[in-house]
Amino acid sequence: MKKILFALLAGLIPALAGINETFAQSSNDIASLTPVKNYFDMESKKRVTENSNTAGLVNAKAFKFFNKQYKVNGEKWREEGDCITASYKADSISHCIYFDKKGRWVASLKIYNEDKMPKDIRKMVKQEYYDYKIGVVYEVETLASAGSPTYIVNIEDATNFKQIRINDDGMDVYKEFQKP
């Protein structure tokens, strides 16, 4: 389970590093998605045939799950490789929801700052690392985590930068770097 989570984190965090403020793209800037049967056209909310090459297509199962679970408007859909992603920003929190090619939910990622952290998680970090400043927080939930998210908290002081991992197993240093 931990290997799957680490592999997912290793791929997601760098891929999403730029997603925090990239929601101002026009529909002309988004790469065309390869259609697979049973897609929706996001503009008209109508089912599209599998032969269509219209940009903005989303797997119907993923679209239905997303609308039922998240109830937001203005999300951005992307397809890269074997992954379909829906992303949106609400209340200063960036959300990324990941689906496989068949439209099944695989993972979700929330990216936010210290002020949006759950109080118990913030308290845990501050008790151990009271001289450190908390930066960006990544909250990751996967099928393997079964409803219990893992938090990757970026902290720094004058000489060090650390990523702290917090999950059901406790808190540990995920990565550590010294500042030049």
As beta bridge partners, residue 76 has: 87
| Exposed e or buried b per residue across 156-171, where buried means at least 16 C-beta atoms within 10 angstroms of its C-beta | eeeeeebbbbbbeeeb
pTM for this prediction: 0.69
Q: Domain locations in the chain?
A: 2-178
pLDDT digits over 69-120, tens only?
A: 988 988 999 988 889 999 999 999 999 999 999 999 999 999 999 999 999 9
**DSSP helix/strand/coil, 69:** helix
Residue 163 to residue 155: CA distance in whole angstroms = 6
Architecture of domain 2-178: Roll (3.10)
pLDDT digits over 126-165, tens only?
A: 999 999 999 999 999 999 887 899 999 999 999 999 999 9
